[in-house]
Amino acid sequence: MANVAVLASGSGSNFQAIAEALADPGRNPRGHRVVLLVCDKPGAGCLDRATRLGIASVVVPYGPGRTPEVRRVAETAMTSALETAGADLVVLAGFMRILTPLFVGRWKGRLVNIHPALLPRHPGAHGIADSFASNDKELGVTVHWVDEGVDTGAVIAQKSFPRTPGLSLAEAEAKIHEIEHDLYPATVLKLLEAHA
């Protein structure tokens, strides 16, 4: 049985999909658990979801500015919360901060992310808009290990779909999120089983 912690900044729909998959004994017979949500944004929707799901949460607000010191303080607080919770796997799910080598080095090999595009194409904060605006014939989702770069870690799983004629951005977004909510829990469960 392994402990999962999720880092999120926003709505938390992927966090909820993972928590619900792990709460299903049919999918998770060994009882791996989501033990903690870490959020950097006070008032974010993911915190309400954690309350509804009965999962502990902690807010680690970053100080003003994007200075190395601000990041160091926040990352140290996050690592401390993750260690206290006994996290075995740290899952980034819409966590909108760039993590420094301090944090990545501490959790490397146990730190995964989801990106709403087919990496290595369209890394960065606007994966959906960038892939939609491209000439790519396929759109999709990537789950990857986190390394010191931005969306550069080794790919664990990808799922794509063809761009149909007339597909709107809203339709593409909806399809991408639907795939995320299927692919991320399934991939997390596979990783947990592989390391159990």
Q: Annotated active-site positions, please?
A: 115
57 forms part of the interface with ligand GRF (CB under 6 A): no
Q: Strand, helix or coil at 103?
A: helix
Query: Exposure pattern of 23-50 as b/e (b: 16+ CB <10 Å)?
Result: eeeeebeeebbbbbbbbbbeebbbbebb
For residues 157 and 163, give the distance between their C-alpha atoms in angstroms, rounded to a whole number.
Answer: 20
| Residues 72-111, interacting with ligand GRF (CB under 6 A) | 93-94
The amino acid occupying position 104 is V
8 forms part of the interface with ligand GRF (CB under 6 A): yes
Candidates 9-17, 58-66, 70-78, 164-172; binding stretch for ligand GRF (CB under 6 A): 9-17
28 forms part of the interface with ligand GRF (CB under 6 A): no
123 forms part of the interface with ligand GRF (CB under 6 A): no
153 forms part of the interface with ligand GRF (CB under 6 A): no
**Closer Cβ to ligand GRF, 112 or 114, answer by number:** 114
Distances (CA, A) of 150 to 6, 19, 44, 107, 113: 18, 25, 23, 16, 10
For residues 2 and 54, give the distance between their C-alpha atoms in angstroms, rounded to a whole number.
Answer: 18
Candidates 19-27, 29-37, 114-122, 158-166; binding stretch for ligand GRF (CB under 6 A): 114-122
Candidates 12-20, 50-58, 150-158, 185-193; binding stretch for ligand GRF (CB under 6 A): 12-20
For ligand GRF, which residue of 3, 10, 76, 108 counts as binding (CB under 6 A)? 10
14 forms part of the interface with ligand GRF (CB under 6 A): yes
5 forms part of the interface with ligand GRF (CB under 6 A): no
Whether the CA torsion 191, 28, 3, 152 is positive or negative: it is positive
For ligand GRF, which residue of 6, 7, 13, 107 counts as binding (CB under 6 A)? 13
What size, in residues, is the chain? 196
Q: Order of strands across the sheet with 3-8?
A: 57-59, 33-39, 3-8, 89-92, 111-115, 138-145, 155-162
The site for ligand GRF, by CB under 6 A, has a size of 13
For residues 22 and 14, give the distance between their C-alpha atoms in angstroms, rounded to a whole number.
Answer: 12
Rule CB under 6 A: which residues touch ligand GRF? 8, 10-15, 93-94, 114-116, 180
